[in-house]
Amino acid sequence: MRVVFDTNVLISATLWNESSAQKILHKLIEEDYDIFLSLEIIEEYKKVLKRDFDYSEEEINNFISIIMQFSNIIEPNTIINIIQNDPEDNRILECAISANADIILSYDNHLLKLKEFNEIRILKPEELRI
């Protein structure tokens, strides 16, 4: 299975012990599933850590080092403009299409409302059954 993490799920999976997102992340790693992120997702993750959690550059770099151990970083090869209310969410879809993902894990309502995009299921981590 090929999975893309939205930034909000990545935050939950890496910052909050015992969160549903963290449990799913560990399960995906244990089962050797492919987790994909784009540079845009990583950049947004870094921005949120700094802005909302006031982490230092060193702390942020430590988180990124950990993420790089379990993620495949790709450069999306397509541009999507389907989510008008929050165009940044399109970066998640672009990553998923370019990665040939099966699933996007997200807590974002704009993405979750789609339920599916180009045969890619969009779920909350709590909804994923593996």
Share of residues in the chain with pLDDT > 90 (%): 98
The C-alpha atoms of residue 82 and residue 39 are separated, in whole angstroms, by 20
Mean local confidence (pLDDT), 51-59: 96
- Which is nearest to 126 in space by CA: 105, 103, 96? 105
Structure tokens at 116: 């599916």
Q: Which structural domain range is residue 47 located in?
A: 2-127
Mean local confidence (pLDDT), 6-16: 96
Q: Please report, as a single letter, which amino acid is at residue 65.
A: S
User: In the structure, what pLDDT confidence band is assigned to residue 104 with cuts at 50, 70 and 90?
Assistant: very high
Mean local confidence (pLDDT), 108-120: 97
Mean local confidence (pLDDT), 63-84: 95
**Total domain count, the chain:** 1
**116-117 and 120-123 strand pairing:** antiparallel
Task: Indicate which CATH number applies to the domain containing 72.
Answer: 3.40.50.1010
The C-alpha atoms of residue 125 and residue 127 are separated, in whole angstroms, by 5
Structure letter (DSSP) for residue 56: -
- Which is nearest to 116 in space by CA: 86, 94, 91, 93? 93
Mean local confidence (pLDDT), 1-16: 96
